[in-house]
Amino acid sequence: MNAEVKMMRTAAETQYSDALAALPGAEPVRALREKALRLFAEKGLPHRRVEEWKYTDLRVLLREMAPLAGKPDAAALAEAKKCDVLANVGAREITFVNGAFVAGLSNLKGLEKGLTISTLGDALKNDATLPQLLAGLNPGKYDAVFALNTAALNDGVVIDVAAGAQVTKPIHIRHIVTGTKPVSVFGRAVVKVGKKAQATILQSHAGPDAVAYQTNTILQLSVADDAELDVVRVQAEGDKAIHLSMMIGAIGTDSRFKSFALTTGAAVSRHTVPFAYSGRNARALISGATLLRGKQHADMTLEVDHALPGGESRELFKTVLDDESRGVFQGLIVVRPDAQKTDGRMMSAALLLGENAEMDNKPELEIFADDVQCAHGATTGALDDDLLFYLRARGIPKKDAESLLIQSFFGEAIENIENEKIRDAVMKRAGHWLAARG
Amino acid sequence: MALLEVKDLHARVEEKEILRGLDLKVNAGEVHAIMGPNGSGKSTLSYVLAGKDDYEVTGGSATLDGEDLLVLEPDERAAKGLFLAFQYPIEIPGVASMTFLRTAVNSVRKKRGEEELSTPDFLRLVRERAKELNIKDDMLKRPVNVGFSGGEKKRNEILQMALLEPKMCVLDETDSGLDIDALKIVADGVNRLRAKNRGFLVITHYQRLLDHIVPDVVHVMARGKIVRTGGPELAHELEAKGYAGYENAA
Ligand SMILES: Nc1ncnc2c1ncn2[C@@H]1O[C@H](COP(=O)(O)OP(=O)(O)O)[C@@H](O)[C@H]1O
Ligand SMILES: [Mg+2]
């Protein structure tokens, strides 16, 4: 072992190891937990010299682990009930409060034909292949967020859409944190969409302002051949929260996938999207809008992996940075030797509103096939003075003129949400962000 | 009191003095034309009146209805009744034309102490004005000016002018890039708006627009100031003789 690379364990690293090792758990969870903890003990939290975490140094940003959250009490449930993120869009809700599944705030009645929703515990009893899935799609690759999440496996949900099932009612996985004390909360959700099936998944994250809580949630998606999946995610954590999350996807032959992520919350957030084309001729659009202010730090990292021919990928991310906020976009498209005729286009555009705001844009292509079409672009700019003047010359006050331009900027990404109710709800949330601009 | 009164106006852009003591007086109900060679500062005058940031006023004054224009924000000037039809209207991708028009109309109405228009009233008004200017519904469904031809952009400027009901309209080379049919539509649009309580300043390089919008007064601008003032016949003289005598004037 190289002594230079081995670093002193941070307080947070020790706290994670101790707290998670003390969690109860029968097999197979115990084995998963132990393996993840061994990996974590070896590799620890990433820092700026780890390429994928260059701009988001967790060793620095996450100094202490907040204590694990306890079971939600009546007050917590009452508080959670008020959460209105992505409410009223006609979805079936599955609610986690402080990491614990709450049946009373979930709707598992009258499930559509072919739809099965189980808690992680129940699913483990019935599905022998699940532990392998929970251990990770790409076991060779270490990711601290994934390792910690696996080590913390407890409550979670497994959503299974059987082959051919058309589930039109969106399924909304809600992660709500409550209370006034910093806590650590973990969550895992698995969504399996069978052949020729179709579903829409919503995921939301919310919690109180002014509380330095920490969340770590992972959404694992697999989309079988000829299937269709739409995902809309809203990260509206409280303003002092640290939010670590992943959306791990694998899509099969001739499948279609679409995702949109709105990020407005948390003091520090990192969302990693490892996304694999595990079939031919699959199409995916991965998009998002990130709206930041104050000293917020938000990192969006995509790793799109084309392993088979004919895949089409579109990535479109818009980041608006006010005040002294900091945005990170890392987007890697890998095209493996067999992935001929891949068509990939990735765009990340940032709008700097604050003089001290900063955006780090790192789009990358790694292409090992010769017959492909791939392009990426990254732009960073301020509001256009000429556009502003034109609007103001028509009587529109400065703030409103700015709002129109900012809205048109992020609206381009939001427009990709097909479901009108969900799109309107996301637009409205983004509108609240705009309205709160000082 | 003149509607628009500009006195000894000096302005510069990027350290370069462009307006050098410009005087101008437009009364309500009058149409004035400003003609002049390229680069004489006509667009600069329009921008300074409308309040564009890059232009620094170094001396003189400009008032609308006796009120100091130069201290106001661009949107306040618009609300007070100043309108500039741009020489080069810009495209605003992502901002729907209707949203833009409604925001503009209601912002101005609000500042003028008038009630905001309801959506149906607004739609009716836009449709009516758009029809007069031969602006198709399809154009209004697009983002502001995006994919519009040169002529369509100019007609869109006149539509905005009609909707905002300004007191003082400044038209910067609204005729440039228009064929004769489009020119007539635009001129008719302007003429419809002529009124006792409204003034126009029509900036143009060519006389042909002035066959359709007949001015009361014609000014010649050269090197940042008005160097000659006359009646409509002055436009014809300039058309015949060109600006040769003015290039190096002042
Ligand atoms: N933003 C600017 N930066 C530098 N020079 C400018 C700018 N705008 C105008 N000018 C200069 O000012 C002079 C007058 O320009 P302009 O007002 O556009 O004239 P006109 O409209 O009469 O053709 C020209 O010499 C032009 O190059
Ligand atoms: Mg000009």
Alpha-carbon B183 to chain mean position? 15
**Residue B227 pLDDT:** 95
Ligand 1 in reach of B40 Cβ (< 6 A): yes
User: In chain B, which among 108-137 make CB contacts under 8 A with chain A?
Assistant: 108, 111
Question: Could you tell me the pTM of the whole model?
Answer: 0.93
Tell me the shortest Cα–Cα distance from A24 to chain B, in angstroms.
53
The answer to whether the CB of B41 is under 6 A from ligand 1 is yes
Q: Establish if B243 touches chain A: CB-CB under 8 angstroms.
A: no
Per-residue model confidence (pLDDT) at position A8: 86
CB contact under 8 A, A393 and B103: no
Q: Do B86 and A387 touch (CB under 8 A)?
A: no
The predicted pLDDT at position A1 comes to: 45
Mind telling me how many Å the CA of B103 is from chain A's nearest CA? 7
Confidence tier at A48 by pLDDT (50, 70, 90): very high
- Sorting pLDDT into bands at 50, 70 and 90, what band is A6? low
B249 has a pLDDT exceeding 60: no
Name the DSSP letter for residue B93. Answer: T
Is residue B46 in contact with ligand 1, taking CB distance under 6 Å?
A: no
Indicate the pLDDT class of residue B8, thresholds 50, 70 and 90: very high
The predicted-structure confidence for A333-366, as pLDDT tens digits, reads as follows 999 999 999 999 999 999 999 999 999 999 999 9
Q: What is the pLDDT of residues B172-223, one digit of tens each?
A: 999 988 889 889 999 999 999 999 999 999 999 888 899 999 999 999 999 9
* Ligand 1 pocket check for B225: Cβ under 6 Å: no
Q: In this predicted model, which residue has the larger pLDDT, B176 or B167?
A: B167
Q: Is the pLDDT of residue B248 over 70?
A: no
**Omega cis (within 30) before A28:** yes
Quick check: A78 pLDDT over 70?
yes
**Do the chains contact at B104 and A396, CB–CB below 8 Å?**
yes
The answer, for A49 touching chain B at a CB cutoff of 8 Å, is no
To the nearest whole percent, how much of chain B has pLDDT over 70?
A: 98
What percent of chain A clears pLDDT 90, i.e. is strictly above it? 96
pLDDT at position B90 over 50: yes
- pLDDT range class, residue A139, cuts 50, 70, 90: low
Chain A residues with beta carbon closer than 8 angstroms to that of B90: 386-387, 390
d(CA B193, CA B171): 13
CA distance B126 to chain A (A): 15
Rounded to 5 degrees, φ, ψ at A416 are: -75, -10
* Mean pLDDT, range A168-180, rounded to an integer: 98
DSSP annotation string for B173-222 = STTTT--HHHHHHHHHHHHHH--TT-EEEEEESSSTHHHHS--SEEEEEE
At B250 the pLDDT is: 41
Q: Give residue B17 CA to ligand 1 midpoint distance, Å.
A: 10
Q: Is the pLDDT score of A107 beyond 90?
A: yes
The answer to whether the CB of A177 falls within 8 A of the CB of A219 is: no
How high does pLDDT run on average in chain A?
A: 95
d(CA B203, CA B170): 7
A368 touches B at CB < 8 Å: no
B81 near A CB under 8 A: no
The lowest-confidence range among A47-61, A129-143, A192-206, A384-398 is A129-143
Ligand 1, atom nearest to B47 Cα: 17
- The beta-carbon neighbor of A387 closest among B73, B84, B92 is B92
- Whether B15 has a pLDDT exceeding 50, the answer reads yes
User: Which residues from chain A sit within 8 angstroms of residue B84, using beta carbons?
Assistant: 393
CA B174 vs CA B43, B171, B205: distances in Å: 11, 6, 10
Please list every residue in chain A whose beta carbon sits closer than 8 Å to the beta carbon of residue B52.
Answer: 389
Query: A with B: how many residue pairs have Cβ under 8 Å apart?
Result: 75
Is pLDDT at B139 greater than 60 in this prediction? Answer: yes
**What is the structure's pLDDT at A226?**
98
